[in-house]
Structures are given as structure tokens and as C-alpha cells.
Structure 1
Amino acid sequence: MGIWVEEIREMIEKIQSNVEEVKKKHSDILSAPQPDEKTKQDLDDMMTDIKKTANRVRAKLKVIEQSIESDEHVNKASADLRIKKTQHSTLSRKFVEVMTEYNRTQTDYRERCKGRIQRQLEISQCTGGV
């Protein structure tokens, strides 16, 4: 269990680090007049990595949860069980926080892209384009 806890913690930290990188890539893309394909590909790769890692974290948290449920039938008052529950709860909460931040980042990026497209449309309409 202890090894899993550390492994999950490291995966959550990896997701958190990738989310910060995604934010930077979003800013790079939005600030560039013509975003380069490498930046877009890097962004896609990071987002794929976040999804894969998140799925692994979910699976491991589920296994720990099932282990807790089976341990509860054997010994409800065990100190080890309380430790497992606390660790599971802490990891789950941290995972939810990181994924919520990732979703917020995605939503913010979408809104900023919409705003950019809207401004481009307004400019092209003012200059007689479209």
C-alpha cells in the first residue's frame, strides 16, 4: 500500500506539473500571431499524457478503495485501516483539486480562443473582409 501511495502521489504531481506547462503553451499559442505546429503538438502530447496518467491514478485509487472495503469487513478498528482511509482520502482530494484546475485551464483557454476569434471577425468586418 505504501508504495502505491507514493506512486499515486508522484503521478498527481506529474499531472500538476503538466497542467502548469499546458497553461504556458496556451499563453504561447494565444500570444503568437500564427502559432507554430510544434507548440500545438507539444500541447496535444501533454494533454494526452495528463489523460493517461489521470486514468492510472483513478484505477489505483479504486483498487485502494476496494482494499479498504474488504479490510472493513475483517477489522473495522484497525489502525492500518484508518491510515489507509486517511491516505486514500488525501490522495483523492488532491487528485480532484488537480483535475479541477486542469478543467478550469481548459475552459479558460476555450473562452480566450473564442474572444480571439470574435476580435478577428470584428477586425475583418471593419476592414471590409469576409
Structure 2
Amino acid sequence: MKDRFGQLQDALDEPGGGGGYTNEAFPNVDLDLNDLSAHSGRNCATVAPDNDPELNRILQEAQNVRQEIQQIQEDHAQLRDQNYHALNNTFMDDTSDVIRDANNIATDIKARGGAVLQRLHRMNRETRKLEVQRGSTDHVVRIARTQYTNLSTTFREVMFNYNETELGHRENCKKLIQRQMAIVGRDVTSEEVEEMMESGQQLNIFNALADGTAQSALTQIASRHKELLDLEKRIQGVQELFLDVAVLTEEQGAVLNNIETNVQKTEAPIAIARDQLNEAKRYDKNNPIKKLFCCCFPCCK
């Protein structure tokens, strides 16, 4: 075989040498981000934001509902603080003021929660109507469905947390009544406290003269009993709302299961594609022609 290395070296010394070989002959797997950015700029018209008025309306409504849910969260946090102060305040006048504030906060949560629930139902109806008109694969329909699912899930969690707070405060009040009753010499069970609440009347026990400690305990008992009655009214007032939220949760169950199934189905193809990409990079790095070219012309860019 004739040695032609000298001729190749002479060709490299000539202007424009390299025998027509360029880096394009051996493309790399890694992509140039600058080239991608330039390419994206040339084709920006194809990825411009969607100006569909229906989409803008959906996003605006979702933002409004999200703000209302955030307000419910803030009211819930304030109610939790008020309940704490009500349990730890020993002054009757201040405690009564706190209880009134808690009742007002609970009323606001009920009204705002009912309004949010109605708006979510309306979003669901409009999403189904869009799905009939445009098809389930339309991007506006998918965005509307995603917004509705996320908002419904968030609203459900917020209302369940509010319910747990009220029920927890109810149990704390019952335990406090039991402790105060023990101070005045009468042990009562949780069932007896429940009967006191179901009667709906103020406690009128131990009206006889008592010492200072017993009288203070009786005052606390009367205060907690009134607080329990107010709390029962609040819980009964939102029972219908909680039932609607439970129905909403049941409707979302199938949707969430479908999303989880699709995510699980996507994990395997992504793993396969990642392995194939790594293998392609390894083959590109071990390309014998590329290695030979780099060894012969180390200074060629």
C-alpha cells in the first residue's frame, strides 16, 4: 500500500486545505444552545402565546378562584389562632370577644367556601362543554381540565383542614369542661358532655354557694359550654358544604387515578429513551473515523 501521508500534509498546508474535511463530517451528539436559540428566534411565530379569548377567560377565572381559596386559608389560620386564645384565656369578657370573632370568621369561611364550590361546578360544566365542541385533545380543553383539577384538589384539602380544626377545637372544649367539672367535685364522661351539648341549654348546676376556686371553675364550665354550643351551630351550618366537597372529591377520584396511570406509563419510555441517548453518546465518542481524524490533524478545528 502506497504511503500518501505526505500528500495529505501538503494539502493541509495549502489555503483552504483540509481536503474538504470539516467538523460537519463528524457531528457531535451535544447540541449548541446558541444555534437552538437562534433557530427559536427565527421561528418565534410558531410558538407565540395563544391569544384565544376562551383560554384567557379560563385562566382569569382560575386565578380568581385561586385567590378566594388563599383567602380561606388565611381565615382558617386566623380561626386556629382564635381558638387557641379562647382555650387559654381566663377572662370572661375577653373570651367572649374572641368567640364572637371566631364565629364571624367561620361565617366568612362558609360563605366564601360555598361561592368557590359553585364556581368550581361552573368551571367543570364549561370544561365539558368545550370538550364536546373542540375535542378532548384541544389544548384549551386540556388547560381548562388541568386548572379545574388542581383547584378542586386544593379546595378539598383546605376545607378538610378547616373541618379538622373545628372538630379538634370541639374535643378540646369537651376535655376542658371535664377537667373543670372535676375541680368542683363532679366527674363527668365525654358522653355526658355530649348530652349537655345536645340539650342546647346553658349549664345551671352547682348554684349553691361555693368557694373561689369552685366558682371560677363553674364560670369556666359555663363559658366552654356556650362555646361548644356556638361551635355546634357552626359545624351544622357547614355540613351541607362538606357534603358537596365530599361529592367533588369522589368525582375527582377517577380523574386523579387516570393521571397517575398515565404518569406511570410514561416513566418506562422515558427510561428507555435516556438509555438510548447515553448509548448514542458513547458510540459517538468511540467513533473510529473521528478518532483517526483527530489523531492525524490535532490542530484542525
Normalised by the size of structure 1, how large is the TM-score? 0.93
1: CA distance between counterparts of 2:155 and 2:103? 21
The aligned counterpart of 1:72 is 131
Of 39, 49, 54, the residue aligned with 2:108 is 49
Shift >6 Å, 4+ stretches: none
1:52-100 Cα distance to aligned partner (Å, 9 max, x none) = 1001100100000000111121122101101111110000000000001
The aligned counterpart of 1:16 is 73
The aligned counterpart of 2:84 is 27
The aligned counterpart of 1:125 is 185
Distance apart, 1:34 and its partner CA: 3.3
How many residues are paired up?
Answer: 128
Unaligned runs of 5+ in 2: 1-57, 187-204, 207-301
Counting only pairs closer than 5 Å after superposition, residues 72-111 of structure 1 correspond to structure 2 as 72-74=131-133, 75-111=135-171
Distance apart, 1:46 and its partner CA: 0.6
Larger relative contact order, structure 1 or 2 (CA cutoff 8 Å, min sep 6): 1
The aligned counterpart of 1:60 is 119
Calculate the aligned-residue CA RMSD, in Å.
1.3
2: CA distance between counterparts of 1:123 and 1:38? 26
Distance apart, 1:42 and its partner CA: 1.0
Unaligned runs of 5+ in 1: none
Deviates more, 1:94-103 or 1:26-35: 26-35
Deviates more, 1:3-12 or 1:71-80: 71-80
Identical residues among aligned pairs (%): 28
Of Structure 1 and Structure 2, the greater helix share is in: 1
